[in-house]
Amino acid sequence: MTYQFKFDSRTRKLRRMSESTKERITDSDYGTSICTTSSDDESLRSESDRSITYLPVNGGDYFMRDLDASRTTLSPGHCPHCQMLFRKPLVLSCGHSLCSSCCSRLLNVLNGNGGKVSKKTRIRMGVTSLYTKYHRIGFSSSLASTSSSSLSSIASSSIIPIYKTPECPQCGETPKMTAPIPNLELERLLSKGLPNRISEYDNPIYRESDQENFVETIFDSAPIQECSLAVLGAPGVGKTSITRVQYGNEMMICGENAESSGIFIDILDDHRLEENLSKAHGFVLVYAITDRDSLTTAEMLSGMIREHRGDQVPIVLVGSKSDADRRRVVTAYEGQRLARQIGAPFREVSARKNDGINEAFDELLSLIAVGFRFRENREYRRISPTNLEKSSRFLIQ
């Protein structure tokens, strides 16, 4: 069984969604992947055993954490490795976070370097190509000596991958080749004094009553608008990285106005161009500033979008890999010129640094919401069920 939740900004709590609300979303792409306790999904079963709660913090945001004290003694907002407040937190693929420096340290342990971080041996954790430099960092011998059989089998193959994340100290998820993502929301929460607010919820009396409400209350039946965003561009421009990073950015759900309707967001990043062209409510059109041909492709794609969907469909033009300025071959001016030509806002972004991506999606969503409002004369706020499923794994501890 899958429970679905929605944020209620009046009471600042997550509410189980009413049957009527659920029905409206089960037909969608994200279907049952919305939120937290799915007992028919093996990967989430362990989560369903736990008592996970959703706690509101500043300004209608909330965070999620495991309340079962017998399973974890770690304070929220604290790194499971160094047990200190997070510093520059990164999200691993399992959803748990680590300080950036702890991540380096653990990667170096994996590398048989005793956790000593030196400039020579430090493994880069950004969004980079997977198979690089392993000889220089002496990865093969250390990999073979690790206990995990999967690691040794990979080590014995001809190409040896570099792991970008260590084994998760929280849940034990195996090292991954996908890079961790900066957990900007957690960093933001911490900078807002999250630990003080957490202590309010550590009061057992508050907690029990809060949990009861949480399970039993049925949330309002405000209308929900589904919204698909397609990320399009030439191969290798960073579409997948942008989508992945944005999923991380969607950890929080903000609800300014409880009366307003919701927009459920689904990001389409696949190669079904025809389908995406006709289905999406808005487009993130990507070219890489390091690849001139990708600008031409973006221009061609914009023509296809306009041809299929007319002038009104919102597009945001994005110049990716802005961190790679030294390899730049497309100037920002050229990007702006194309954006003006196709009537779209323009932004240079970096998935590696998680820079500008949330802003680009925000811009696109606000354009789409204008369209929805115009058609239905309603206020909309932003909620992201696709990402809520993911964000349920973006635990603070």
Ligand X SMILES: Nc1nc2c(ncn2[C@@H]2O[C@H](COP(=O)(O)OP(=O)(O)OP(=O)(O)O)[C@@H](O)[C@H]2O)c(=O)[nH]1
Residues of this chain that bind ligand X (CB under 6 A): 127-129, 233, 235-241, 320-321, 323-324, 350-352
Minimum distance between the CB of residue 360 and ligand X, rounded to whole angstroms?
A: 12
Closest CA to 380 of 389, 388, 371, 392: 371
Give the integer Cα–Cα distance in Å for 124 and 271: 29
Could you give the angle at which helices 239-249 and 184-191 cross, rounded to 10 degrees? Answer: 30
Closer CB to ligand X, 78 or 239, in the complex = 239
216 membership: H or E segment, kind and range: helix 204-216
| Residue closer to ligand X, measured from CB, 67 or 357 | 357
Candidates 134, 137, 133; CA nearest to 121 is 137
What CA dihedral angle connects 127, 133, 136 and 141, to 10 degrees? Answer: 90
Residue type, 70: S
- Cβ proximity to ligand X, 323 vs 379, nearer residue: 323
Q: How far is the CB of 299 from ligand X (least distance, A)?
A: 17
Nearer to ligand X, 352 or 382 (CB): 352
**Closer residue to ligand X in complex, CB, 236/303:** 236
Single-letter code of the amino acid located at 281: H
In the complex, least distance from residue 126 CB atom to ligand X, rounded to whole angstroms: 7
Nearer to ligand X, 79 or 277 (CB): 277
Q: At what angle do helices 194-201 and 184-191 cross, to 10 degrees?
A: 80
Provide the minimum distance between the beta carbon of 217 and ligand X in the complex, in angstroms, as a whole number: 40
Query: How many CB atoms are closer than 10 A to CB 392?
Result: 22
* 137 vs 179, beta carbon nearer ligand X: 179
Smallest gap from residue 352 Cβ to ligand X (A)? 4
Spatial CA neighbour of 185 closest among 194, 176, 197? 194
DSSP E strand stretches across 167-269 = 181-182, 224-233, 261-268
Minimum distance, C-beta of residue 351 to ligand X, in the bound complex (Å): 4
Q: Tokens representing 332?
A: 């920002």
Q: Cβ closer to ligand X: 93 or 225? A: 93
In whole angstroms, the minimum distance from the beta carbon of 336 to ligand X comes to 19
Paired with 152 in beta bridges are none
- Least distance in Å: CB of 321 to ligand X? 4
Angle at 313 between CA 308 and CA 316, to 5 degrees: 110
